[in-house]
Structure 1
């Protein structure tokens, strides 16, 4: 290992230590003071390389706030931090009879990478992980059962998200057609005060018009007491999202492996994973453009907007070999893999697409978690040259620019929160894998 890599490893561990609260790891020191769902799963993967007990605690703490119906909330609030928006009072999660009695949470979810994180820990600890897995496994199963029961009412094998934040790619241009179609009167827009634009550059954050619609959806859900049937009938936002379903497919396969390790029956997880993969190839695959597209259940149409999420099925092993080759060509065509031109991989949105921004959150910047998913996908399909380049690019980006939340794909400059936890955690996973 090179000297510079050893320094980077120490720095990454320092970032995680700085954000550790004693119970969980904050995504960032000021912008994100609570526990976030998929952040904690990805952070756990980094911890599993050198601090397995903390990796286990990260996941267990999160799942202690799981709802009675299996929903895993995207935020678990620390009551000591009241300035974050939307906070406890705006979500009103207590209006749901399924919400936890002794924890304050949001009322939406994030991508299901938790079983994948648990399997990573099991592979490193072996039988020493059994007590952890025994406690977590039924909660993981309940989480996946909730998704297929409540978010796939037609039994297609594709679950839907009901808020842009559930995709993890909050303000992606994918959502523009739906959000622009939500014509709200001033009376329909809830009163709120953002906190994020007072902490980081407002140019880096979602626009107010989008936030109005995020807030509207939250209050709509709260008004229905988070009843899934009522939301399904009334929400203007219901999308079968590529990223969410790809990660669920992978997580189902990983949960099946955990089931076998515990002597449990893996059958239902294997069946659902296979069904989701078939459904993604049958309904979401865009043969012409070599990528996967989201499906708007309200309009009954594919959303023809090209984002990095369209290539994440590589991580789950969903495309066949020919599809995977087509996806590589597509990535180069849309600027997601600009290696030949010396660009920085991988922008979160089509660099040649309408609405591209190199600095605004999920409208173009490079994110280390997306790079990590793509790297593992390249490795899975034997795309060694691309994997080596993406690995080197990711390491160099953080080494040169710092542990930022996201990065300008044109200049490499860091944006959003500094000392960002999953940037540190996933970099550790890459650096320590050998």
Structure 2
């Protein structure tokens, strides 16, 4: 498969979208409207709420997304404040929770309370972290800041924290020593109600309903009453899942961490490079399904494939350890041809062919609607591999969505109607997409003129 072959949908035209400068201004306004800073419990904090009311805390991978958006807007110093805040409460062993509770200390939902260690739940009057993790993209966030201003002092400040964090993940979540990290609840993947988890939860009703909510809640209840003791939780095997996206981001960030070590003159870089290669090879070995040409999440101690076509079946194509032939097969089937992911507003979070597919607004998210983050993630890979027009199509899709509905949490993949939280910051990743696309096309123009 060569770039630009088998293109099955028509690119939206530029006159269907807001001008780039208007989109950038809209994103800037949303970020600053949701931004909060202060000092409490001996800590200084500065972060952006993903949305004003729905998501009021500092979330791990959301903060990293904010870094990508802020640096694309030229707000590098602000991005640094966000990352310092994210790591402010890092434990001595390296752990960083997926939520930092700063200004609003009491969790808003029962499920949030169950995501704390019991002793933290008893002391919620002071800043604290959740007991869970989220996709580990912090190294890429630090690398993006360094690339923006070459501030070696900031890199040297954050590098020890990053090293401790990724060491914690390897030591505490790679239960079998194969380089693959396990999550212990759906909330750790960042894709809370992802349909591929249904078989693990014992849910076979297709579209989500109240029963699914209670089954997920039981997982968090189980972890809470096990005091988040990871060996005990692993042994119980209630929810031990190796998510394809989570592990892809882990491998990517280990590669980036090796580069950051090299820049800083740190000798530990080779260790992270070796770990990245081990993880990447295990992803291909255990997650790839040749017949379906897809990468699936895995469940349990025996690595059972969860054969449900979520959008993350694409993710591992970005890794250099994934063979080129496998990349071409996966891209051709799931992104460049007409299958369950070809909709007017790609990339849907779940194949339209799956029984659980639901494109409309629901509390059970990630089961059909389009999220900007998938387009952002795949656009970077497509640009890297020379699929410039396909990458541009994903960008223009996002611009059309924002033009139609503003910065929303997610969108209907058929109509483009915005759903979920309003003034949602993830949509701001469009400015990073715009910047990457412009730089790649300018690079191509320059090469053509030489």
| TM-score bracket relative to the smaller structure | 0.7 to 0.9
Give 2:425's aligned residue: 421
| Structure 1 contact 306–350 (Cα < 8 Å) conserved | yes
Quickly say closer, same or farther: Cα 1:101–1:155, change in 2 above 3 A: farther
Give the match for residue 197 of structure 2: 175
Report the equivalent of 2:355.
354
In the aligned structure 1, how far is the partner of 2:188 from the partner of 2:104?
25
Kindly state the Cα deviation for residue 87 of structure 1 after the two structures are TM-superposed.
Answer: 7.0
| Residue number in structure 2 paired with 1:6 | 21
List per-residue Cα deviations over 1:153-186 (Å, max 9, x = no partner). 221111111111111111111011111269xxxx
Establish whether residue 64 from structure 1 lines up as the match of residue 88 from structure 2. Answer: yes
Of 180, 185, 198 in structure 2, the residue corresponding to residue 158 of structure 1 is: 180
Give the TM-score taking structure 2 as reference length: 0.84
Per the TM alignment, residue 316 of structure 1 is displaced from its structure 2 partner at its CA by 3.4
SS for the counterpart of 1:48 is helix
Query: Which residue, out of 59, 63, 88, partners 1:36?
Result: 59
CA distance in 2, matches of 1:327, 1:350: 14
1:380-419 paired onto structure 2 within 5 Å? 380-419=384-423
1:298 Cα deviation (Å)? 4.6
Runs (5+) with no aligned partner, structure 1: 183-204
> CA offset at residue 383 of structure 1?
1.9
Deviation of residue 336 (structure 1)? 1.9
CA positional deviation for 1:88: 6.6
Q: Displacement of 1:314 after TM fit?
A: 2.8
Query: Which residue of 1 is the match for residue 308 of structure 2?
Result: 305
* Bigger mean CA offset, 216-225 vs 248-257: 216-225
Equivalenced residues, count: 404
Separation in structure 1 between the aligned mates of residue 36 and residue 265 of structure 2, nearest angstrom: 35
Give the distance between the partners of 1:165 and 1:257, measured in 2 at CA.
30
SS in 2 for 1:24: strand
1:68–1:100 contact (8 Å) kept in structure 2: no
Equivalent residue, structure 1, for 2:293: 290
Query: Helix, strand or coil for the counterpart of 1:177?
Result: helix
| Uncovered stretches (5+) of structure 2, i.e. residues with no partner | 1-13, 38-45, 439-450
Q: Return closer, same or farther for 1:241/1:87 CA change in 2, 3 Å cut-off.
A: closer
| Contact kept? 2:180, 2:247, Cα under 8 Å | yes
Q: Aligned residue for 1:75?
A: 99
CA contact (8 A) 2:295 2:313 kept: yes
Is the contact between residue 344 and residue 409 of structure 1 (CA under 8 Å) also seen in structure 2?
yes
CA drift of 1:275 comes to 0.6
Q: Name the counterpart of 1:124.
A: 148
Correspondent of 1:336 among 336, 341, 351: 341
Corresponding residue for 2:242? 240
Maintained 8 Å contact 2:96/2:129: no
Structure 1 residues 74 and 208, CA gap change in structure 2 (3 angstroms): farther
Further displaced range: 388-397 or 101-110: 101-110
Residue pair 2:395, 2:430 contacting (<8 A) in 1 also: no
CA gap of 1:211–1:66, structure 2 versus 1, over 3 A, is farther
Root-mean-square deviation (Å): 2.4
- Judge which range, 315-324 or 105-114, deviates more: 315-324
Write the distance in 1 (CA, Å) between the matches of 2:338 and 2:184. 31
Alpha-carbon deviation of 1:66? 2.3
Q: Structure 1 residues 17, 79: CA separation in 2 closer, same or farther (over 3 Å shift)?
A: closer
How far did residue 238 of structure 1 move? Answer: 0.2
Residue from 260, 277, 281 that aligns with 2:280: 277
Distance in 1, matches of 2:219 and 2:111, equals 15
